[in-house]
């Protein structure tokens, strides 16, 4: 069975209006048959955070929503709690403190159950902290800023659902360019992925490739440091880092990116319906013209004139009908 999709949400997803991202999650989880497990461990809120997502997912058509909330590593070893993921068709990890989420979940049977669910085809989604933990490496904490500086942030282990990556969220809104650049400068084997608010990077595993597509209002920013030149290994304290040669990809909605080959996936050109209709009509006219010439019905010049008359005739008839209509005559009388 193929791996399930990953939905990496940059936080602050729309919960009131179109709710596009959450609708997509419920649909990917099975729609009316969806059984969703919510993991709210990162949140500092109590049961209300589960109540919010329970109401949202049920309103969007999910059949069942269950809470899986370990409050300690001991809880994350509890077979009864772990068993709640066994029948899940979708797993959703809320926002909050990603270091708390990592410290309580990673390396436990609950984490193994999340990975196993992903491997058997379950969709795994997370917003904010729940997005960061999906990568192999995770931003633990750190400040904003567009310039990468030594010791700007700290990294912790994630669940590893997405290999050789580090994910950051609220990316543009909280100006997290510098800290993601710092991480990839220190670990150039990692692909840096920054996800804006109300935006999702959706990853499907296709033919041994992880392919990312973008949905939402913002963008997904990818830093590829494969050929970086950096002084991260010798920079002191909080000094500014050299980060030259990083390949930048800014991916708006509709973009697709192959994370395995680190290349943009070409998009099929869209066709304007009106233009397509015009082309179809022109093609039919040409076929009629060729048929009539072949039948020696008339010369090409005469046929072209006949075709021109046929194109203008409907407009002429319509104009005559409008002139003869009672409303037109009334308007004319009123104008005089």
Q: Is 328 a catalytic residue?
A: no
Pick the catalytic residue from 29, 102, 135, 170: 170
Q: Is 71 a catalytic residue?
A: no
Per-residue 3-state assignment (H helix, E strand, C coil) for the chain = CCCCCEEEECCCCCCCCCCHHHHHHHHHCCHHHCEEEEECCCCCCCHHHHHHHHHHHHHCCCCEEEECCCCCCCHHHCHHHHHCCCCCCEEEECCCCHHHHHHHHCCCHHHHHHHHHHHCCCEEEEECHHHHCCEEEEEEEECCCCCCECCCEEEEECCCCEEEEEEEECCCCCCCHHHHHHHHHHCCCCEEEEECCCEEEEEEEECCEEEEEEEECCEEEEEECCCCEECCCCCCCCCECCEECCEEEEEECCCEEECCCCEECCCCCCCCHHHHHHHHHHHHHHHHHHHHHHCCCCCHHHHHHHHHHHHHHHHHHHHHHHHHCHHHHHHHHHHC
Strand pairing of 191-195 and 219-224? antiparallel
CA angle at residue 13 from 158 to 9, to 5 degrees? 25
Q: Is 197 a catalytic residue?
A: yes
Pick the catalytic residue from 43, 118, 135, 197: 197
CA dist., res. 30 & res. 174, Å (int): 34
* b/e per residue 165-175 (b: at least 16 CB within 10 A): bbbbbbbbebe
Pick the catalytic residue from 29, 43, 102, 128: 128
CA dist., res. 137 & res. 114, Å (int): 16
Q: Rounded to 5 degrees, what are φ and ψ at 243? A: -145, 85
- Please list the active-site residues: 128, 170, 197
């Amino acid at each position: 069975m193929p791996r399930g999709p990953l939905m990496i949400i940059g936080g602050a997803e729309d919960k009131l209006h179109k709710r596009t991202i959450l609708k997509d999650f419920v649909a990917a989880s099975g729609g009316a048959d969806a059984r969703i497990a919510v993991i709210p461990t990162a949140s500092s809120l109590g049961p209300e955070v589960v109540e919010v997502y329970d109401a949202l997912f049920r309103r969007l058509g999910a059949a069942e929503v269950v809470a899986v909330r370990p409050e300690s590593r001991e809880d994350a070893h509890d077979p009864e709690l772990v068993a709640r993921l066994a029948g899940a068709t979708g797993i959703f990890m809320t926002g909050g403190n990603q270091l708390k989420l990592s410290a309580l979940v990673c390396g436990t049977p609950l984490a193994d159950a999340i990975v196993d669910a992903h491997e058997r085809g379950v969709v795994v989604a997370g917003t904010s902290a729940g997005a960061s933990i999906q990568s192999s490496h995770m931003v633990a904490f750190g400040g904003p800023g567009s310039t990468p500086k030594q010791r700007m942030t700290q990294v912790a282990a994630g669940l590893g659902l997405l290999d050789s990556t580090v994910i950051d969220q609220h990316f543009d809104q909280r100006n997290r360019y510098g800290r993601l650049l710092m991480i990839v400068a220190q670990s150039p084997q990692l692909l840096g992925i920054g996800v804006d608010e109300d935006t999702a990077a959706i990853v499907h595993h296709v033919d041994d490739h992880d392919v990312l597509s973008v949905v939402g209002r913002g963008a997904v920013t990818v830093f590829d440091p494969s050929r970086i030149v950096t002084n991260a290994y010798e920079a002191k304290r909080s000094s500014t880092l050299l980060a030259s040669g990083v390949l930048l990809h800014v991916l708006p909605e509709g973009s697709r990116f192959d994370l395995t080959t680190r290349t943009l996936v070409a998009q099929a050109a869209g066709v304007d319906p009106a233009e397509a209709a015009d082309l179809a009509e022109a093609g039919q006219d040409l076929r009629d013209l060729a048929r009539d010439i072949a039948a020696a019905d008339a010369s090409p010049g005469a046929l072209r004139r006949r075709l021109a008359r046929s194109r203008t005739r409907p407009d002429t008839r319509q104009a005559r009908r409008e002139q003869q209509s009672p409303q037109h005559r009334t308007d004319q009388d009123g104008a005089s």
